[in-house]
A and B are shown apart, each in its own frame.
Chain A
Amino acid sequence: MNRGVYDRTWTLPDLIARYPLAVMPWVLTLSVAILVLRLRAPRPRWRRLVRQPGFVACGMVTAWLIIMLVSGLVGAPDARRWIQPGFGLDLVGSTSVAGVLILGAWTLLYVGGFWRPEKSRLDRAGRILGASWIALVLVLYLLRDLGRQ
């Protein structure tokens, strides 16, 4: 019987290589949820909102998810492909690099002196998630350099 990926002995490098895929669905869902909660009224003015690193991180991830969805639909125009499980997995897997978007936005916020974190649970959670995305992408690129991805 072919047991696929389970038919092997797991080593520490194997587990490290699978860590991003295990963590990603959680941070992705939480990021979208926090963005939705942040956008509910009453909320700060847009100008203040886009200077909050937590909001920026969650906004970037959600925007990235939408970009990936559109790219997937453009790149794979066959509608039968969209309902296959592989398409959803590819989509979630592709969001892993959203940490690069966050890194870019946070760098500009911080260096330009526009970094205005809010003392609220939502922004704090957003910042933790943003840091997780950046850590995730750095691990992914390191693994890719090592030939694991």
Chain B
Amino acid sequence: MGRKFQLVDLMVLVLLFAGLFTWYRILAQHGVGVRLYAFVRLGSLIWVPLGYHCPALLVGSLTLTWFWLRPPRACWRKLIVQPGFSACFLVSVWFLVRVVLFVASEGLGRLPIDHGFDARIHFSTWQHRWLLTSAYLFEACGLIVLGGWSLLGMAGLWRPLATVADRLGRMIGAAWILGWWVLLVSDYQEKEWGHAHDAKADGSCRSVCAGSGGDRWCGLALLDLSCLPQAAGHESWRL
């Protein structure tokens, strides 16, 4: 980065952190939107802590990308081979993609035709749809970082710098990958559990979800961290 801290940097920082605090205020008020299967299990509750850490990681990635890309900057070829920069840059790219997809889905959802979108995540305002389901919106950030880092590693382009910014970027990238991996494994455990109940065919599991079975989600609830110890005390937490 190697340049003076300017007024515009301060303005961007204030804007980003104002957005972050607003995000956390709404999360504290409503809880995290969690996808529910036939029953709630610890596997699905992993979304709660991930929902809380998503905004901080996202704002961290966007901030670092901003500081890296402000002129005067190094040439792209030198920037891209820094794993810290590449992680934050790719998260910013995915953020833009998600914004476009979110706007498109909002627009399509308002069209006066019958979509049959029966499982749409219902919140009263688009802000709540965006802010409370952050873990869903940005779960692929870990994946896009993994793709970029794999390429850098395979092509022999992994050139980390001993700077605070690059180290921080690498930590953020690793946190995204870790979060994505935890979700992946918990999702498989959720499906495993659902299939086990389907195999029993006792009907009790199906009735909860109107015949959708255990591996299809059947709703969305707002949960906060206080739910975790409550759920940990039970093998399954029936809705």
Interface set of A (CB-CB < 8 Å, partner B): 11, 13-14, 47, 50-51, 56, 59-60, 63, 71-72, 74-76, 78, 81, 84, 86, 90, 97, 100-105, 107-109, 111-114, 137-138, 141-142, 144-148
Q: What are the 6 A-B residue pairs with the smallest beta carbon separation, nearest first?
A: A75-B188, A104-B147, A147-B120, A101-B147, A112-B80, A145-B105
Which chain B residues lie closer than 8 Å to A11 at the CB level?
Answer: 114, 116
Cα A1 to Cα B80 in complex, Å, equals: 58
B34 part of interface (Cβ distance < 8 Å) = no
Task: State how many angstroms separate the Cβ of B193 from the closest Cβ of chain A.
Answer: 9
Which chain A residues lie closer than 8 Å to B115 at the CB level?
Answer: 13, 146
Contact of A113 among B76, B151, B181, B192 (CB under 8 A): B76
Chain A residue, CB-CB nearest to B194 = A86
B121 part of interface (Cβ distance < 8 Å) = yes
Given contacts A47-B156, A72-B188, A114-B157, contact A147 B148 (CB under 8 A): no
Which chain A residues lie closer than 8 Å to B152 at the CB level?
Answer: 108
Report yes or no: A108 in contact with B185, Cβ–Cβ below 8 A: no
Cα A100 to Cα B136 in complex, Å, equals: 14
Which chain B residues lie closer than 8 Å to A47 at the CB level?
Answer: 155-156
Contact of B101 among A59, A63, A113, A145 (CB under 8 A): A145
Report yes or no: A104 in contact with B144, Cβ–Cβ below 8 A: yes
Report yes or no: B151 in contact with A86, Cβ–Cβ below 8 A: no
Which chain A residues lie closer than 8 Å to B203 at the CB level?
Answer: none
Number of B residues near A (Cβ < 8 Å) is: 52
Chain A interface helix/strand/loop/mixed: helix
Which chain A residues lie closer than 8 Å to B81 at the CB level?
Answer: 112
Task: State how many angstroms separate the Cβ of B181 from the closest Cβ of chain A.
Answer: 8
Which chain A residues lie closer than 8 Å to B76 at the CB level?
Answer: 111-113
Report yes or no: B191 in contact with A76, Cβ–Cβ below 8 A: yes
Report yes or no: B140 in contact with A100, Cβ–Cβ below 8 A: yes
Report yes or no: A147 in contact with B121, Cβ–Cβ below 8 A: yes
| A-B contact list, 28 entries, CB within 8 Å | A14-B116, A50-B151, A50-B154, A50-B155, A63-B150, A76-B191, A86-B195, A90-B188, A90-B215, A101-B144, A103-B147, A104-B90, A104-B146, A104-B147, A104-B151, A107-B90, A108-B80, A108-B86, A108-B90, A108-B151, A111-B89, A112-B79, A112-B157, A114-B80, A114-B155, A145-B102, A145-B104, A145-B105
Which chain B residues lie closer than 8 Å to A59 at the CB level?
Answer: 154
Which chain A residues lie closer than 8 Å to B5 at the CB level?
Answer: none
Report yes or no: B192 in contact with A138, Cβ–Cβ below 8 A: no
Which has the most chain A C-beta neighbours within 10 Å: B147, B148, B186, B195? Answer: B147
Task: State how many angstroms separate the Cβ of A33 from the closest Cβ of chain B.
Answer: 20
Contact of A146 among B80, B105, B192 (CB under 8 A): B105
Which has the most chain A C-beta neighbours within 10 Å: B86, B98, B136, B146? Answer: B146
Interface string of B159-190 (1 = CB under 8 A from A): 00000000000000000000001001111110
Cα A141 to Cα B97 in complex, Å, equals: 10
Interface string of B69-101 (1 = CB under 8 A from A): 000000011011100001001100110011001
Report yes or no: B188 in contact with A71, Cβ–Cβ below 8 A: yes
Cα A148 to Cα B117 in complex, Å, equals: 6
Given contacts A75-B188, A107-B93, 19 further A-B contacts (CB under 8 A): A47-B156, A71-B185, A71-B188, A75-B184, A75-B185, A97-B140, A100-B147, A101-B143, A103-B94, A104-B151, A105-B148, A108-B90, A114-B77, A114-B80, A137-B140, A141-B140, A142-B105, A145-B101, A148-B119
